[in-house]
Amino acid sequence: MASTQKIIEQTVSTLAERYQFDAAEALAFVMEENRKASPALARAMKAVKTTETKIAELEQKIADKKVKNVEKSEETLAGLRTKLAEQNERVNSIGAPKKAAEPEVVTEPEAEPETEPEAPKKKRAPRKKAEPEQEAPKKPEPETETEPETEAPKKKRAPRKKADSDTDGPAPRYGSKLASCVKKELLAAFNEAEIAWKDAYSADYKAFANAMSDEAWNQKAPLDHMKDFARTKKPVVPETVPEDANVVTLKHNQLLKTTVVDKYGPGVYWDTDKKRFVKGPDAVDDEDVTEVTFEGSTYMVGETSKRVYMVAEDNDVFVGFAGVGKFTAMTA
């Protein structure tokens, strides 16, 4: 946009000296007529200004570290700079024909009444000024050359980094964080396999999927790979409690934090993390109990031990602990 304005001013100034008219008035006339005749130029110049504002705002945000993803913001910035270059080219292409046509129409009728003796003197003047006119275009040339020189290395460095990582193996299928839809499908696969979910499994699954070759990955749907991964986390659980097994007694709050398998009888569980048998606290004499309705049945729950008793006519029967195993959803 700046180069277009400069060329117009130089053209009008040269013609004003050659044909002896007021350069300021002619320049004002040319610019006014140019704006009237080319609404497209005005729109193009406005688009340039808008893009320049966006670039300045984004550069400031990056400098102030107010962007969530710096790499993505830099890509956006590079795109805006490319867009700005294209818009400037459009401004020049719209403005160039008008600059060449309008000054000639204005000056040609004024050239005829001039006296012939003065014509040679007027011809010498442009010869002397022809040299600076040739030098003027040379000044913007380095500016146009420096812009691609600064951008070119950035474009070349990006593929080099990718090429280095490509040699290490297939491109990662999952980034640093699983998308919510992927995690939802993964949780569904674990629920279907009846395996307790742990947050650490997200990172394990990413490693599992990213390490797989393209050929192996393409043989199944992503959900089938998730099911295969879930099966690798299925704990090896003993079928029965050996007679000589060491059953560790835990406090109720410790039991709540333990991932257990409830299949061995009331209050005895398999700790899948530490591979051991555990149980909850023993009965407390004269403990106060609270009546709780759970899944349509009535139970009595100890206020301190959280032991769960099924209400019977003859005697209440101990069946487990509140919040653990089959009573995980029970609150008391």
Q: What is the pLDDT of residues 22-71, one digit of tens each?
A: 778 777 777 777 666 567 777 878 888 898 999 999 888 888 888 888 88
Q: What are phi and psi of 75, to 5 degrees?
A: -65, -40
The residues spanned by each domain of the chain are: 2-165, 180-232, 247-327
pLDDT at residue 278 is higher than 50: yes
- How far CA 59 is from CA of 30, 63, 67, 73, 88, in Å, comes to 36, 6, 10, 9, 20
The predicted structure's pLDDT at residue 35: 64
- Rounded to the nearest integer, the mean pLDDT of the chain is 78
Residues 226-273 have pLDDT tens digits of 999 988 887 778 889 988 889 999 999 999 999 898 988 899 999 988
| CA–CA gap between residue 54 and residue 207 (Å, rounded) | 39
Say what the pLDDT of residue 294 is: 93
CA distances from 28 to 5, 36, 82, 106, 267 (A): 12, 12, 32, 13, 96
Give the full edge-to-edge strand order of the sheet including 276-279. 247-249, 276-279, 268-271, 260-261
Least confident of 124-138, 161-175, 205-219, 259-273: 124-138
Which residue type occupies 247? V
Q: What number is the average pLDDT over the span 297-307?
A: 93
Alpha carbon distance 70, 170 (integer Å): 25
Residues 198 and 285: their CA atoms lie apart, in Å, by 37
- As a whole number, mean pLDDT of residues 156-163 equals 50
- 169-210: per-residue pLDDT in tens? 556 788 878 888 998 999 999 898 888 888 888 899 999 999
Question: Is the entire prediction scored with pTM above 0.75?
Answer: no
